[in-house]
Chains A and B, each alone.
Chain A
Amino acid sequence: MITLTLKGKLSIPLEADSVTPDNLHDKSNHQIKEQTVYWGNKKKTIGDFFEVEGERSDRITVVGDCAKVKLLGHKMSFGAVHVKGNTGYNTGSYMTGGAITIDGNTADYLGAMMEGGLIDLKGNAGHFVGGAYKGETAGMTGGEIIVRGNVGHETGSFMRRGLIAVGGNAGDFTGLFMLAGTIVVLGKAGERVGANMSRGSIILMNQARLLPSFLENGVVATPAVEIVLGRVRELGLAPAGGGRYVRHTGDVNAVGRGEILMRVVNRNHLQV
């Protein structure tokens, strides 16, 4: 186990993409301290900002309020990063494997462009969870992201594969330009869910106002949903089971083969 403890409070952000098992697993304690991080416009080392305990491990624990620490677990492909606190922008971006657990909150772009692995966030996330960076036409292509709190806008934008499960509420444009994959929102979802989605599934446990470009396609009780929700439970969230879902297909302005499944609470919602 490698433990990095943040020495003080940061006001200027730190880009810490060197903090991955891929980079640190074969390094001595001294070498870890010498690894590069970027603090504002200065090139610094991990040892400048963190107390470092342990060495040569694929398990990294980061302790402290790292809300200004960006890019933790960036591009990691194996091992585990456990953050006992908050994290900053781009946590777990481009990760291909391994697991990141965050006890606190995080900023925007959690797991952006993710290809594989697991991210478990106990608190809230910002915008673009599992999303695509600006201009990219493919976002998350694999892996799983669990957020126990709330998420911001554009969750899973341009998603191609994988699972994003949100325990709390989601902002607007969940599943924007989604190409495939699955998004589950246990709380309330904001406006414009699935805008421009071509394929893929969005499962909503509460009512949401959909765009005109989604067509209602009957009420279904599908085993596929139960399989997804089973996995979500395994990952530690607790969606209700066994319900029926109104199936909406769209976005007809895109390819139109996506689906939004909204859990039926009572019949009245159909007039909403």
Chain B
Amino acid sequence: MTAVKQDEGITVTEHVVCPFCATLCDDLVIHVQNNQVVKVRNGCNLARGVFENAHKEWATPRVNGKEVPYDSAVEEAARILAASNNPLIYGLAATDVDAQKKCIELADLIGANLDNASSV
């Protein structure tokens, strides 16, 4: 249902939902060129900030500050959490429901404390 137009290498996506605040505006039009957002229509300043900066400062897989293969970072995370006697899982408010469900499943498995931004 998303109208995607190819025009001079620019992909236009309509009816985009803004993942910034809980107003969750769902009428944004996003222009993308070379995997960068070049134009945001209908969005507020905050929305523009999210999309226009989205290609910058991507995180890299690291352990103790050193870049490592992805699987090694995941393995190290599993090792840390398996060894923990009182883990904390925090966040969830800025990702989607599938990830939230997985956080709860993990917390259940390892007997963690689990909290989101509601309590802050």
Residues of A bordering B, CB below 8 Å: 12-13, 39-42
Bound Cα distance A39, B86 (Å): 8
Chain B residue at smallest Cβ distance from A13: B86
Number of A-B contacts (CB under 8 A): 17
Q: Report A237 CB to chain B, min CB distance, Å.
A: 35
Task: Give chain B's interface residues, CB within 8 Å of chain A.
Answer: 84-87, 110-112
A73 to B49, CA, bound (A): 54
Additional A-B contacts beyond A13-B86, A41-B85, A41-B86 (14; CB < 8 A): A12-B85, A12-B86, A39-B85, A40-B84, A40-B85, A40-B86, A40-B111, A41-B84, A41-B87, A41-B110, A41-B111, A41-B112, A42-B85, A42-B111
Q: Which of A13, A39, A40, A42 has the most CB of B within 10 A?
A: A40
Q: Would you give the shortest CB distance from B82 to chain A, in whole angstroms?
A: 11
A-B CB contact pairs (8 Å), 17 listed: A12-B85, A12-B86, A13-B86, A39-B85, A40-B84, A40-B85, A40-B86, A40-B111, A41-B84, A41-B85, A41-B86, A41-B87, A41-B110, A41-B111, A41-B112, A42-B85, A42-B111
CB distance from A235 to the nearest CB of B (A): 36
- CB-defined contacts of B111 to chain A, threshold 8 Å: 40-42
> What is the minimal beta-carbon distance from B4 to any residue of chain A, in angstroms?
47
What separation, in Å, do the CA atoms of A42 and B112 have in the docked complex? 11
Contacts of A41 in B (CB 8 A): 84-87, 110-112
A13 and B88 alpha carbons, distance in the complex (Å): 13
A39 surroundings in chain B (CB, below 8 A): 85
